[in-house]
Structure 1
C-alpha cells in the first residue's frame, strides 16, 4: 500500500456509488448470508466461488436471484480455505494461484450465463484481498487469473493497492472500494481483524461512516486521523447479524444525501 496519495478523487455530495456485498457464503446445509434480502438492496453481488464458501447449488441460486433483480454478479475469488473461511494467510505459488482464480471465475460464469447474466467483475476475498494490497507478486497472479479466464473483467479492490495497480498495468479496469463496517489505519489500509475495533458493530456508526465516505471521501482512522477513501463502490458485509436491515439503512441514508446508487460494471 503506497498510502492515500493514490486514491481516486474525492466524490462530491450527490455523486454515484455502487453497493456491493459478499453473498452465497455457505455450502451444503450450512448457510450464512441472507442472500435474498441483501439482493433487494445492493447493486453488485460478490458471489463466493467454492474456495472459501459456496457450492454449485448455492452459486446457481444466487446467480438466478441476482439476475432476476438486475444485480451485477461478481466472482469473489479466494485462497482454497473452506475451513478458515478464506481468512488464513497462505503461500500459494503464482502459477497455481492464477489457475485457481481462473477456475473460480469460470465456474461462476457457467451459472451466471445459465441465469441469463454474466460475471461482470472480480474481487478477491479475505486473506487474498489483504495480501494483494502490498504483495505485487500475488496481485499479479490474481490479475493473470482474470486474464486466463478469458476476458477483460474489472477488478475491485482497495485504493492504492498493488492489485489495482497491476490491473491497470494489464489494461483491466480498476475499481476502488471502501468498507462500511471496517476500521481503517492512518495509511488507508484496513485494520487487522485481530485488533480491537477493527469491525464496526454499532449500526448508527456504520451508517454515518458510509455517508461520510461517499459524500466527503474521508473516514476517521482508528488512531483519529482523517483518511481519504475515494471509491466507486461501498462494501456492506453480508455475514454480520442484521446485515440486510443495516444495508437498507445505508442505502436509504445515501439516497437522502442525494447519492445515486448504480453498479459500476
Structure 2
C-alpha cells in the first residue's frame, strides 16, 4: 500500500509540517497549491524534495481560504469551483514540469475534500474540472462503502480514481471519518498501528460500532506535522513494507 502525505503547506515565514523528514518515507506527496497554504518558493522546494527522493506528486487544491487554512466550506458557484480547481492544478502542473516531474493525481484539501465526499453535486464539479484538464489526472478520494458508485460517476467523466484510507482516524459504518469533535475520532499510536495492519492485511477497518468494514484502499494517508508524526510514519512504513516505484517521479 502506498503512503501519501499533505506537504508544501508552509507560507512565507509561517512553517507547517516537517516535509524534509517525511519525504524519504512516503510514495505520494499531496502538494498545496497556494489557496490554503504554500507559496511559489515552497512549491519549488517541495517539488525538489520529491524529485530527490523519487516521490510521485499530486496537486492538493482547496477553497480560496488562506486565513482558515482551507478548513471552511465556501459557497462557490459550479463554474467558479471548476475554474478555481483548474487554476491551482495548472499552477502545480507547470511548476512540476519545470522541476522535471509529471503531476500524477489531484487530492482536494480540507473542507473541499469533505464537501466532495458528502455532496454529489460538488463531487461532479471536481470530476468535471479534472475531465476538462489538458491531460489525464487521477482523483484521490476516500474509500467508503459507496466506492462502486464513485467509480461509476468517475467513469462517466473518464477520470480514474485513487482510493485512500486514513491510518489515524476512526470510521463510521459507511466508511466515513468520524468528526474530530467525536470522542475517539483520532487514534492513539497503538490503535493507529493496529488499523494499519488491518488495512494492509485484511483490507478492512473496525468501525466505531465494532463492525468490520471492507475498504478497497490503494493508498494510506499519514501526517507529518511534528516529530511524533514523523516517528509514526516510520513505524507505518515498516508495517506497510518498502517503498515501491511510483508514477510521475
Bigger mean CA offset, 145-154 vs 225-234 = 145-154
Structure 2 CA distance, aligned partners of 1:84 and 1:59? 19
Equivalent pair of 1:183/1:199 in contact (CA under 8 Å): yes
Query: Is 1:65 aligned to 2:53, yes or no?
Result: no
Query: Is 1:169 aligned to 2:153, yes or no?
Result: no
1:190 paired residue among 169, 174, 177? 177
Report SS of the residue matched to 1:45: strand
| Corresponding position of 2:59 | 75
Report SS of the residue matched to 1:242: helix
| Corresponding position of 1:29 | 13
1:178 paired residue among 165, 172, 177? 165
Equivalent residues in 2 for 1:10-25, closer than 5 Å: 17-25=1-9
Report SS of the residue matched to 1:172: coil
Task: Report the TM-score when normalising by structure 1.
Answer: 0.87
Query: Is 1:155 aligned to 2:142, yes or no?
Result: no
Query: Is 1:252 aligned to 2:225, yes or no?
Result: no
| Corresponding position of 1:219 | 205
Structure 2 CA distance, aligned partners of 1:262 and 1:177? 18
Bigger mean CA offset, 139-148 vs 175-184 = 139-148
Give deviations 1:173-215, integer Å, cap 9, x for gaps: 1111110111111111111122222222x22221221111121
Equivalent pair of 2:104/2:247 in contact (CA under 8 Å): no
Shift of 1:227: 1.5
Equivalent pair of 1:121/1:155 in contact (CA under 8 Å): yes
Report SS of the residue matched to 1:51: coil
Count of residue correspondences = 245
Give deviations 1:196-238, integer Å, cap 9, x for gaps: 22222x2222122111112101111122221112211111023
Equivalent pair of 2:27/2:243 in contact (CA under 8 Å): no
Query: Is 1:105 aligned to 2:55, yes or no?
Result: no
> Which stretches in structure 2 are left out of the alignment for 5+ residues?
none
Shift of 1:163: 5.7
> Which stretches in structure 1 are left out of the alignment for 5+ residues?
1-16
Q: 1:240 to 1:157 in 2, by over 3 A?
A: farther
Structure 1 CA distance, aligned partners of 2:59 and 2:243? 24
| Corresponding position of 1:231 | 217
Structure 2 CA distance, aligned partners of 1:167 and 1:183? 26
Q: 1:163 to 1:61 in 2, by over 3 A?
A: farther
Structure 2 CA distance, aligned partners of 1:260 and 1:24? 21
Shift of 1:62: 0.3
Structure 2 CA distance, aligned partners of 1:192 and 1:164? 25
| Corresponding position of 1:56 | 40
Equivalent pair of 1:233/1:264 in contact (CA under 8 Å): no
Equivalent pair of 2:223/2:230 in contact (CA under 8 Å): no
Q: 1:63 to 1:81 in 2, by over 3 A?
A: same
